Structure 1
Amino acid sequence: MLTKLLITDDAAFMRMTLKRIVTSAGYDVVGEAANGQEAVDLYKELNPDIVTMDITMPTMDGIEALQEIKKTDPNAKVIMCSAMGQQAKIVEAIQHGALDFIVKPFDHSRIIEALKKASDR
């Protein structure tokens, strides 16, 4: 069975890039969210296996969304995505239950490695 992903990023180009990478590796993108609130709502609706979550977004940032999703499902598998220079935010996200992080610009092999690691948990 395909692993179902929810991709969250406020930049449509980044969502499209990530979707292309993960679908070519055999993952099923079941939803896309442009901000943290959309991610929380879609998580409840779609019940994805893994969520990729941008950290810096409007409406609700990735760390707030991570916390909300973890309240709903303590076993949720969330991988954070961030630009270089956001180490403090990455540490905060890990403390709140994120499994891993991917740095932008995306490295194809690093994304697949993070997804496989999350799938195995």
Structure 2
Amino acid sequence: MKDPVILVAEDSKYMRTVIGMTIKGMGYNSLFFAADGFETIEKAILLKPDIITLDITIPKINGLDVIPEILEVSPSSIIIMVTAMHNQDIIKQAIKSGASDFIHKPFQKETLENVIRSHVQKISV
């Protein structure tokens, strides 16, 4: 299978670096970054990413509002919410909008690796 295209949508430069280094450490190199909702949509249009890690609290357009926009332009993208928000209503709303998975911050590196790996296996079948 080709290297999956992964987009990390996160406003915190530190978290973009942590997530990016973890994904690169897994051997995936088709890695791209977005710092806000508009940039996330633009990159989804251009890249049609296989996997998107998406923070809820990104500027310009929040992660919850970005989900349907992403899926409109890239319907096969798998969206993994990576957020510090633990509110069950927000989680339900994200899943209802089309998110496939959730990782709560702060997270263990292994948690991110396992979730990414499980979704990469699904797209390579």
The answer on whether the counterparts of 1:36 and 1:59 sit within 8 Å (CA) in structure 2 is yes
Amino acid at match of 1:110: T
What are the superposed Cα offsets for residues 39-70 of structure 1, whole Å, 9 maximum, x if unpaired? 01011112221100001111000111111011
Q: Is the deviation greater in 83-92 or in 38-47?
A: 83-92
Q: Over the residues paired in the alignment, what is the CA RMSD in angstroms? A: 1.4
Q: Identify the residue that residue 74 of structure 1 maps to in structure 2.
A: 75
The answer on whether the counterparts of 1:79 and 1:101 sit within 8 Å (CA) in structure 2 is yes
**Structure 1, gaps ≥5 residues long:** none
Could you state the TM-score of these two structures normalised by the residue count of structure 1? 0.91
Runs of 4+ in 1 over 4 A off after TM superposition: none
Provide the rounded CA distance (Å) in 2 between the counterparts of 1:12 and 1:31.
13
Could you state the TM-score of these two structures normalised by the residue count of structure 2? 0.89
Counterpart mapping for 1:8-47 below 5 A: 8-47=9-48
Higher strand share: 1
Provide the rounded CA distance (Å) in 2 between the counterparts of 1:45 and 1:83.
28
Amino acid at match of 1:108: K
Q: Identify the residue that residue 105 of structure 2 maps to in structure 1.
A: 104
Q: Identify the residue that residue 87 of structure 1 maps to in structure 2.
A: 88
User: In percent, how many aligned pairs have the same letter?
Assistant: 32
